[in-house]
Amino acid sequence: MPLEGPRNKMVFLDTNVIIRYITNDDPHKADQCELLFKQVKEGKQKLFISDLVIAETVWILEGAYNFPKDRTTDILQKILNTQNIECENKDLLLNAVSLYRLENIDYIDAYNASVMEYKKIEKIYSYDRDFDKLSDLKRLEP
């Protein structure tokens, strides 16, 4: 596949780097991650993360490491608000993180509700009763 245009200097950041840094489960790798994030804060490095990296971070921190929701959402907000870390849907992700923090629903439901809000969709076909907790949405069953 031919490349078009100049290459982007930005580097994609995978979930496992975030996890190593936050959990310090491998001190050597955590130190290397800390150096990377220092370079990012100093503007020497630009990173890109996807929506799925954020979702996977939630899943791993809460599922494998038993992080409480408040701690997880604090971490996500810091990541998303870090200068020189970019993502395609920053406002949508920040909204999803806020909704997830405030409501008793899982992160993927919060993300989907945020997508619906962004797209101005008011109804959802779902058997998931968590959507009933969101007053702006109307859950329908097929």
113-130 pLDDT tens trace: 999 999 999 999 999 999
Write down all domains in the chain, each with its CATH number in brackets: 11-140 (3.40.50)
- pTM of the predicted model as reported, rounded to 2 decimal places: 0.88
* Confidence grade of residue 6 (pLDDT, cut at 50, 70, 90): low
pLDDT of residue 9: 85
What residues does 11 pair with on adjacent strands? Answer: 47
Determine which helix (DSSP H) or strand (DSSP E) holds 134, and give its type and residue range: none
* Confidence grade of residue 2 (pLDDT, cut at 50, 70, 90): low
Query: Which tops the pLDDT comparison, 38 or 2?
Result: 38
Q: How far apart are CA 25 and CA 76, in angstroms?
A: 19
Where are the alpha helices (H) located in the chain, listed in sequence order? 15-23, 27-41, 51-63, 69-80, 90-102, 107-118
pLDDT at 8 over 90: no
Q: How far apart are CA 16 and CA 119, in angstroms?
A: 31
